[in-house]
Amino acid sequence: MVSKMHTLRNLALAAALTAALPAANAGLIYPITPSTRMVGEESVYKVAETGTTTMEYVAAHYKLGLSNMIEANPKVDPIVPRKGTQLVIPQRVILPDTPHEGIVVNSAEMRLFYYRGNDVEIFPIGIGQLGKGTPISWVTKVERKKAGPTWTPTAAMRAEYAAAGDPLPAVVPAGPDNPMGLYAMYVGKLFAIHGTNADFGIGLRVSHGCVRLRNEDNEVIWHEVPVGTRVQFTNQPIKHYVDPDGSIYIEVHQPLSRTSAEFDNVDENAPFSFTDSDLAFFKTPGIDHDILERALRERSGRPVLLNPAAF
């Protein structure tokens, strides 16, 4: 949804309007046990009555991506919300259905989860553009780390930028102008988790396939994660679980566009490809199917209780 709603021109405007972002020492950290499936709490942020507050500013302040904020606040201007607007801060999250080990990248919700023993740290990310996708089903590991990475654009990238009138050098040296930021973790042989030299792009499909973090988040995770750490890429736009107390939850995100037609069609939701797990979950006794259908339609990226108490 986010990729459909934003043009590069609007993103540049948002970056220009964004105030200096607050310093950060970590992602969102939550204690977990082996059986934990949902963490965090929602809150509300009121946009100031004076000055200019961008959605990107609020997203960065609360460790969220732009997509997370837009999904949770679909009727709000995604660039500059109206003064006085009450924004939902969607920090309540169902954990992806994966082992609680190492790094998990869920491309559909544009979040990175780092499992560190008895807690999980969550970071918002930017991922690959349509046709330059970030992996969506892959288990690998951190092969190496580099402080002060250089960037060597591929021949295809250089041709693309040259055609747009913005030619790239053969090698971009390390430093603040490097698109990879100041730190990089290389996963597998072809991909990296890295920072950025831009003021936007987290929660968007903007990279050439790598995982992009805000620089302050990237520096934190780069220092935390050792070489050899397990890394799993997954694509779970629908997450669900049944709590031991009987409560049934679902969290639905807009699935990633798979074609140019889906990418360009801003008036219709992209279709889901339901997994066997999804189909089995939909048959769970006690689900209110009116609420389920609304959750699948609205795709708010927020956990929804599917069996509220009847009064």
pLDDT at 259: 54
Residues 6 or more apart from 15 whose CB is under 8 A from it?
Answer: 56, 198, 199, 200
Average of per-residue pLDDT across 72-89? 97
* C-beta separation of 31 from 118 below 8 A: yes
Tell me the DSSP string of 35-93. T--EE---EEEEPPSSS---HHHHHHHTT--HHHHHHH-TTS-SSSPPTT-EEEE---E
DSSP summary character for residue 20 = P
Residue closest to 199 by CA, chosen among 186, 183, 181: 181
Residue of 6, 100, 208, 210 with catalytic role: 210
Residue of 194, 208, 240, 253 with catalytic role: 194
Residue closest to 64 by CA, chosen among 36, 28, 106: 28
Structure tokens at 182: 């100041």
Structural domains of the chain in order of their starting residue, each with its CATH number: 2-234 (2.40.440.10), 238-305 (no CATH)
Q: In terms of DSSP bridges, do strands 38-39 and 93-94 run parallel, antiparallel, or are they unpaired?
A: antiparallel
HSE at residue 48, side-chain half, CA atoms within 13 A, is 8
pLDDT at 286 over 90: yes
What span, in angstroms and rounded, lies between the C-alpha atoms of 108 and 180? 22
Highest mean pLDDT among 114-128, 161-175, 263-277: 114-128
pLDDT band at residue 266 using 50, 70 and 90 as cut-offs: low
What span, in angstroms and rounded, lies between the C-alpha atoms of 307 and 215? 40
Residues in the chain: 311
Structure tokens at 271: 């279709």
pLDDT at 170: 84
Average of per-residue pLDDT across 53-76? 96
What span, in angstroms and rounded, lies between the C-alpha atoms of 300 and 311? 26
What span, in angstroms and rounded, lies between the C-alpha atoms of 252 and 273? 13
Average of per-residue pLDDT across 108-119? 96
Among 40-54, 55-69, 98-112, 127-141, the range scoring the smallest mean pLDDT is: 127-141
For 192-236, what is each residue's pLDDT tens digit?
999 998 877 898 877 666 899 999 999 999 999 999 999 999 999
Mean pLDDT of the chain: 87
Residue closest to 218 by CA, chosen among 276, 167, 286, 147: 147
pLDDT at 262: 52
Known catalytic residue at 100: no
* C-beta separation of 112 from 211 below 8 A: yes
For 90-112, what is each residue's pLDDT tens digit?
999 999 999 999 999 999 999 99
**Prediction pTM value:** 0.87
Largest Cα separation within the chain, whole Å, is 67
pLDDT band at residue 133 using 50, 70 and 90 as cut-offs: low
Q: Which residue has the tokens 């009727």?
A: 75
Beta-carbon count within 10 A of 278 CB: 17
Of the chain, the end-to-end C-alpha distance in Å amounts to 36
Known catalytic residue at 210: yes
For 240-252, what is each residue's pLDDT tens digit?
999 999 999 999 9
pLDDT band at residue 47 using 50, 70 and 90 as cut-offs: very high
pLDDT at 311: 75
Residue closest to 270 by CA, chosen among 284, 280, 281, 256: 256
pLDDT at 8: 36
Angle (nearest 5°) at CA 254 between 251 and 256: 125
Residue 143 identity (one-letter amino acid): E
Task: Give φ, ψ of 46 to 5 degrees.
Answer: -100, 125
pLDDT at 3: 39
pLDDT at 12: 38
pLDDT at 159: 84
DSSP summary character for residue 246 = S
For 69-79, what is each residue's pLDDT tens digit?
999 999 999 99
